[in-house]
Structure 1
Amino acid sequence: MSLKKKIIVATRPSLLAYIQTLQTVELLQKANPDIEFEVKKFSTQGDRVLNRSLTSFGGTGLFVKELEHALLEGEADIAVHSLKDVPSFNPEGLKLVSYPEREDSRDVFLTRDGLSIDDMPQGFVLGTGSPRRKVQLADIRPDINFKEIRGNIDSRIQKLHDGEYDAIVLAAAGMNRMDKNFDEEMLLDVDLCIPAIGQGALAIETRVNDLECIDIVKKINHKATEQAVLAERAFMAEIEGGCKFPLAAHAVVDGKYLNMIAIVGDVQTGDFIVESLEVTIEESISKSMELAQKMKAICKEKDINFYQ
């Protein structure tokens, strides 16, 4: 009797990361019943440093570098990432090869008493460290007092209920994956608050020369999700932005077409621009890059410095 092939799956130790990895492994197991999957936790810098804002100590790659090191050193065969945490370019020898079906990509506006952002009192305190969220929500309510917030979903919700914040904004995808209930009326429409690039999507990374692992994980790839997030990431790579900047893009596939809306801004002044496109799937990557070039030119013309 032959032993099953074992695949070591790298994940971050946070509860959300672990749960979404287990959910991904469940999909992989169904698609590959003859393979054994073992989940292994690797702590990242983003997990260890909780007393500083992400933008203050690097931002890009803080939740993926140690997992990628494990892949390169042969300590793991595949890694499951929240795609919004993954930089534009992969280290040499690694690549993203599979994108399971995307969760809800929108943000959720949470308060203690269920008030909408329009109904909140003057000068309310909103917990977020995201420049993307700050510029968009300040456009809706210029009186918001923003306050940095870190920690997992439960600790953030607890801080809200303890009165440290009057409102917080969380990703709906994380709430859904953790089975956290919320009023759907609290979802922020994409046109109101464009999500982070890759928000709601997961990505599976492996070594470029591990053809067997690539074949295994591609069995759960969701084509429409892949097409949408590749367009978003092409935009991100071309505009050369990251989580330090008010930058967002969200794409949706509709048949043969892809629709995308994007924003870049200046977190110091609150100025930003929004552009959109509708293109065929075949030209979505090149047109997303052209959109980034166009928006960079507009920023330069209007003196909007989103790289600071």
Structure 2
Amino acid sequence: MTNEMTPIRLGTRRSRLAVAQSGTVARELERVSGRPVELVQITSEGDTNRASLASLGGAGVFATRLREALRAGECDILVHSLKDLPVEQPPGLVIAATPPRADARDVVITRDGITLDELPPGSRIGTGSPRRMAQVRRANPQAAVHDLRGNIDSRMGRVRDDELDAVILAAAGLVRTGSDDAEIPTVAGLSVEPRVLSSWPTAAGQAALAVETLTDADPQLLAWLGELDAPLTRFAVTLERAVLGGIEAGCHAPVGIHAQTSDGTVHVRAGVYDDESHNDVTLDHSERLDGFESLIEGYIQARGSGAAADSSGLTVRAREIGSELARRLLRYGAADIVNREAAPSS
């Protein structure tokens, strides 16, 4: 870093949600560093091309242009929605911080407060996520699912304008763009129905942010970013992404996976969704984490050192559990579903 008045440049997508969540990280980084942080807005192909994410190569399309900007020296750090990042970390880059996770649930937005399960046959439900499409069909087989792209406001506008009867959104997006509170904000004129994670697991890493920089970034910058890192969030999302990687499913596959810890025990719910619901593969797992406090202490000592934190005992344990759960899912039949989803259509 040059001098204390030189801004730290934070690269972000241009959407209202991306700018809002990047602004949250910027304020925290200013607090811990004493340095100004400026946002560098970057346009990706995923922001300008209205084709489905699957046809563009998955949600990782959002990260490609940002990472090019980081490598080119256009910015010093990036802030991503972690669920948009491919599991495989590219050489030369490191996720230096995962700040505390927001509300990981999905929510159903409707005009009149009727729950998703009770919407009448033929109700038009909008979502661009294959996972959410499958979960909607499980909850209400008579609903008509419509592929949907666009920002939060445009999606909710289609419900308000009676083009759709409901849309499925991430609770974290509503919180980050509409409220400073930890609770889901009230959406003017629309009703919000949170789904329950125990029966509706969301995308790996949903509601978590990833602060990414160069592996050989300035040690002081890495140390500042380390202070933004939340060990419990890192553990949970590392486990979730290990499951996703273990079954060789992309970040836009019809897979829901959510992990959380309480009192030294990790609880995991996973679902791999087939075209036919009776072929779904689901898994519930709880495991006592012996020595968990010591693993957290070791991680806190290692964070801020870039790649070292990613090889700490805490993250290694998360990957071990995630990999074992992936093997169980594969034994139960997840491989057949994922392979069919990945096969090109005729």
Contact 1:258 1:284 in 2 (8 A): no
Offset of residue 3 of structure 1: 4.5
**TM-score, normalized by length of structure 1?**
0.93
Within the alignment, does 1:197 sit opposite 2:204 as a pair? yes
Cα distance, 1:62 vs structure 2:
1.0
- Give, in whole Å, the separation in 1 of the partners of 2:29 and 2:191: 30
How many residues are aligned here? 304
The one-letter amino acid of 1:46's match is G
Task: List gaps (5 residues or longer) in structure 1.
Answer: none
Residues 126 and 147 of structure 2 are in contact (CA less than 8 Å); yes or no, is this contact kept in structure 1?
yes
Deviation of residue 227 (structure 1)?
1.0
The answer (yes or no) to whether the contact 1:264–1:306 under 8 Å persists in 2 is no
* Shift of residue 295, structure 1, vs aligned partner: 0.7
- Give the superposition deviation at 1:165: 0.7
* Bigger mean CA deviation after superposition, 71-80 or 173-182: 173-182
CA contact (8 A) 1:135 1:272 kept: no
Q: Does 1:224 align with 2:236?
A: no
Q: Distance in 2 between matches of 1:10 and 1:303?
A: 36
Whether the aligned pair in 1 keeps the contact of 2:86 and 2:251 (CA below 8 Å) is no
| Letter paired with 1:16 | L
Q: What is the SS of the residue equivalent to 2:62?
A: coil
Q: Deviations over 1:44-72 (max 9, x none)?
A: 1110112x111122114111111111111
1:28-43 superposed matches below 5 A: 28-33=29-34, 35-43=35-43
Q: Tell me the CA shift for residue 74 of structure 1.
A: 1.4
5 Å-filtered alignment, 1:8-19, equals 8-19=9-20
Counterpart check, 1:116 vs 2:124 = no
Pick from 252, 265, 279 the counterpart of residue 257 of structure 1: 265
- Give the Å deviation of 1:306: 4.5
Q: Which amino acid aligns with 2:194?
A: L
Length-normalised TM-score, structure 2: 0.83
Task: Confirm or deny that 1:284 pairs with 2:318.
Answer: yes
Query: 186, 191, 198: which is aligned to 1:181?
Result: 186
For residues 184 and 223 of structure 1, the distance between their equivalents in structure 2, rounded to whole angstroms, comes to: 34
Per-residue Cα deviation, 1:193-242 (whole angstroms, up to 9, x for no partner): 11111111111000011122211111111111111111111111111111
* Cα 1:53–1:224 shift into 2, 3 Å: same
Counterparts in 2 of 1:300 and 1:243: CA distance versus 1, 3 Å: closer
- Which stretches in structure 2 are left out of the alignment for 5+ residues? 179-184, 293-313
Kept in 2: contact 1:252–1:258 (CA 8 A): yes
CA shift digits 1:111-159 (9 cap, x unpaired)? 1111111221112110012111122221121111110111111111111
Indicate how the Cα distance of structure 1 residues 212 and 306 shifts in structure 2: closer, same or farther if over 3 A, else same.
same
Q: Secondary structure at the match of 1:64?
A: helix
Aligned letter for 1:186? E
Q: Please, which of 230, 242, 251 is the counterpart of residue 250 of structure 2?
A: 242
Equivalent position SS for 1:63: helix
Q: Which amino acid aligns with 1:202?
A: L
Q: SS of the residue aligned with 1:168?
A: strand
Matched, 1:79 2:78: yes
State percent identity of aligned pairs. Answer: 33
- Matches of 2:63 and 2:247, distance apart in 1: 21
Alignment correspondent of 1:21: 22
Structure 2 distance, partners of 1:301, 1:229, is: 22
Contact 2:111 2:191 in 1 (8 A): no
Instruction: Name the stretch that deviates more: 249-258 or 224-233.
Output: 249-258
Corresponding residue for 1:54?
53
| AA partner of residue 181 (structure 1) | T
Contact 1:262 1:275 in 2 (8 A): yes
> Residues 166, 235 of structure 1: CA spacing in aligned structure 2 closer, same or farther, 3 A cutoff?
same
Correspondence 1:68-147 to 2 at 5 A: 68-147=67-146
Q: Paired residue for 2:303? A: none
CA contact (8 A) 2:112 2:191 kept: no
